[in-house]
Structure 1
């Protein structure tokens, strides 16, 4: 039985010691969400135009002694085909020692290139996998969203935990089998969904939801459990699925 937690979304006062990697994609996000995620990830990477998003997040440059807010949020890596990053953004991060690596492979996306770089880092460290948190990937262009859904569906075979986060939602793939999800009501809810994406159908059973399922078949041609609700009195949701599905939960405003 797999256990899941979104503790990385909780407001904290200390820096996390867990291995988490933040990958910033080229989609809008709030300062509040960014700040919460950045502080709880050990490794930070921008996928091409994601560097523009990070740079533009800090419109108020001056903090103290000539330093800027941007100075405190330097990613370890910017990578992709670099067709989206602006010249001024690239020059800024290069001048501050950030590695900027161009990968012209047109058969892989910027997201795929970021994860490939992380896997090289993991291999060199030899200390196991990082949990991956994608900032973006579920808003904006539909084809980008579909790519995120598809790629994370595939990654379930090789990665232990990969989450996609936007200002509105957090989501990830539940592989076939049983799962326990710890519900942090301070940041999640009330709505949630179990989505049969990338499969013909699955058989679902749940506890801890307002509208639970008991060996119900779910498919795009049939039942899809959208707009389900988390119950305030329940701290856990149990899900059993015969095939991989997407789990999504609404995020409260930071």
Structure 2
């Protein structure tokens, strides 16, 4: 079962984007290995001064004071054919699940690069987090998704990525029944969750995304 708002992942990658200290706290506490992608270290330093396992990238965005503070954690990878997120994923490539924090803010090209990375590294279960959105990639097959009412939803979306998808769902206001999702044809945006579990069957990789209410997080998650 997929449980995006249970927040459990083996690894955490922090991007150079805008996110709250509260969301950083939640993800940090629910992962075992934490990596900053280049300037993501600036965000961690400014919000909490946590110590990540590594700071990975070409280091063109990290500030000098942050470099000094994390000096023994710096791994410079000078490969202009890969972005810093790819380099951070490569550092955690033995992880089966990775949370990516800061996936929805900042430059649109970088947001799209994050979704591209999730599609290309599809052997790893990746969850994307921001202060207002969560998302993951559903592989071809049948998926059961736990929905934590109040924390996420009711709005949700099913977005094809890489190829058209034939999709069926249960648990939504407007369920799909072997319908083709494709840009230029039909994309299920602004749908509504109507159950505490949603079932999705897809023929090809498909993004599942919901709105996220950070201010409603309970003190503990069961």
Q: Alpha carbons of 1:19 and 1:250: their partners in 2 closer, same or farther (altered >3 Å)? A: closer
Per the alignment, residue 149 of structure 2 pairs with 185
Query: d(CA) in 2 for partners of 1:118 and 1:222?
Result: 37
Per the alignment, residue 112 of structure 2 pairs with 146
Q: 1:118 aligns with which of 92, 105, 118?
A: 92
Q: 1:80 aligns with which of 57, 62, 69?
A: 57
Per the alignment, residue 132 of structure 2 pairs with 168
- Please list the CA deviations of residues 42-66 of structure 1 after superposition, one character each: whole Å capped at 9, or x if unmatched: 11110000001111114xxxxxxxx
SS state at 2:113 partner: helix
Task: Write the mapping of 1:58-73 to structure 2, written as runs, cut at 5 A.
Answer: 58=48, 70=49, 73=50
Give the total of aligned pairs: 215
Query: d(CA) in 2 for partners of 1:205 and 1:33?
Result: 32
Per the alignment, residue 167 of structure 2 pairs with 204
Task: Write the mapping of 1:14-53 to structure 2, written as runs, cut at 5 A.
Answer: 20-53=10-43
SS state at 1:44 partner: strand
Per the alignment, residue 74 of structure 2 pairs with 100
8 Å CA contact 2:5–2:152 kept in 1: the answer is: no
Per the alignment, residue 200 of structure 2 pairs with 239
How much has 1:87 moved relative to structure 2? 0.3
Per the alignment, residue 219 of structure 2 pairs with none
Query: d(CA) in 2 for partners of 1:148 and 1:88?
Result: 27
Extract unaligned runs of 5+ from structure 2. 216-222
SS state at 1:29 partner: coil
Query: d(CA) in 1 for partners of 2:205 and 2:15?
Result: 24
SS state at 1:195 partner: strand
How much has 1:251 moved relative to structure 2? 0.3
Please tell me the root mean square deviation across aligned C-alpha atoms, in Å: 1.4
SS state at 2:19 partner: coil
In terms of Rg, which structure is larger? 1
SS state at 1:185 partner: coil
How much has 1:187 moved relative to structure 2? 1.5
Query: d(CA) in 1 for partners of 2:92 and 2:129?
Result: 18
8 Å CA contact 1:5–1:182 kept in 2: the answer is: yes
How much has 1:195 moved relative to structure 2? 0.3
Query: d(CA) in 1 for partners of 2:102 and 2:132?
Result: 10
Per the alignment, residue 226 of structure 1 pairs with 189
- Residue 2 of structure 2 is aligned to residue 4 of structure 1: yes
Query: d(CA) in 1 for partners of 2:136 and 2:117?
Result: 11
TM-score after normalising by structure 2: 0.92
Q: 1:214 aligns with which of 174, 177, 183?
A: 177
- Please list the CA deviations of residues 164-207 of structure 1 after superposition, one character each: whole Å capped at 9, or x if unmatched: 111111111111111111111141111100001221x2111100
How much has 1:19 moved relative to structure 2? 5.6
TM-score after normalising by structure 1: 0.81
8 Å CA contact 1:8–1:37 kept in 2: the answer is: no
